[in-house]
Amino acid sequence: MRYFLKLSFQGAEYHGWQIQPNDVSVQETIEKALAMVLRATTPITGAGRTDAGVNAMTMYAHFDSATPIADVDLLKRSLNGILPQDIAIHDVIPVDASAHARFDATARTYKYFAHTAKSALLRTMSWQCNPRLDFELMNEAAKHLLRYEDFTSFSKLHTDVKTNNCHVTHACWQRYDGIDSHVEQWVFTITADRFLRNMVRAIVGTLVDVGMRKISVEEFCGIIEKKDRCAAGTSMPAHALYLWDVEYPYL
């Protein structure tokens, strides 16, 4: 029997999602909890790989059980009782045996949070940006992301993917009312069928260069067309990035 886990996590204490030889990962932590509850080694497959320090509001992973799980709510409660406070299981969902958390996902959404002045409340979950950032100009540049398919310029070098093509369907900065009313708060939301390693943080870093008027909107487009990571902006801090949603045709 195959099951999907719907979960969230704060990434500060983990070296990303995927199991690492000498570092603690989210995947490894959940697998250890599953092994304790199910009393069997239980590998899980995630919807994707998040980098070290990146958070997830919504993440899915699948696992197989040799026998049907009689009470999925009990399994959820048991896992949450074992897992650390920075990982939460929200649902255990029976699915078809052919369902795949990674390959069946039709869209993924990330959000990057920023605030324009010092905030004691937001410092661990949002990036303090320069108050002179021109978000309107950044949005003008962000619209052009929907015109391109090859995002090599925003990909971490020497990855094992077969293609750097992605279909971006939404990319926009918006003001929002967050938990600290003393500061101006912004969020960048981007949706695509898939993302490359480090892609969102590199896009945000390059958009910040546009917002600081270090490069023009035309130069932003030129960076994409160069297909050269060295041409793009810096990779932004991980703590402000969240995998926000993963979409499936059957959930």
Q: What is the pLDDT of residues 69-127, one digit of tens each?
A: 999 999 999 999 999 999 999 999 999 999 999 999 999 999 999 999 999 999 999 99
In the prediction, which pLDDT does 55 show?
Answer: 98
Could you give the C-alpha distances from 9 to 29, 57, 86, 145, 238, in angstroms and in order? 11, 7, 5, 28, 13
Residue 80 · residue 32 · CB < 8 Å: no
169 pLDDT higher than 90: yes
Model confidence band, residue 151 (pLDDT cutoffs 50, 70, 90): very high
Residue 197 · residue 51 · CB < 8 Å: yes
In the prediction, which pLDDT does 88 show?
Answer: 98
Percent of the chain having pLDDT more than 90?
96
In the prediction, which pLDDT does 78 show?
Answer: 98
Catalytic (active site) residue 160: no
Model confidence band, residue 183 (pLDDT cutoffs 50, 70, 90): very high
In the prediction, which pLDDT does 158 show?
Answer: 65
Q: Is 102 in a helix, a strand, or coil?
A: coil
Percent of the chain having pLDDT more than 70?
99
State the average pLDDT over residues 27-34: 98
State the average pLDDT over residues 11-20: 96
The residue annotated as part of the active site, out of 51, 104, 209, 245, is: 51
162 pLDDT higher than 90: no
In the prediction, which pLDDT does 63 show?
Answer: 98
Our measurement of the distance from residue 125's CA atom to the centroid of its chain's CA atoms, rounded to an integer in Å, reads 13
Residue among 124, 138, 106, 159 at smallest CA distance from 203: 138
Q: What pTM was estimated for this model as a whole? A: 0.96
Cα–Cα distance measured from residue 123 to residue 114, given in angstroms and rounded to the nearest whole number: 10
In the prediction, which pLDDT does 157 show?
Answer: 75
Calculate the average pLDDT of the chain.
96
- For residue 241, the surrounding DSSP H or E stretch is strand 241-247
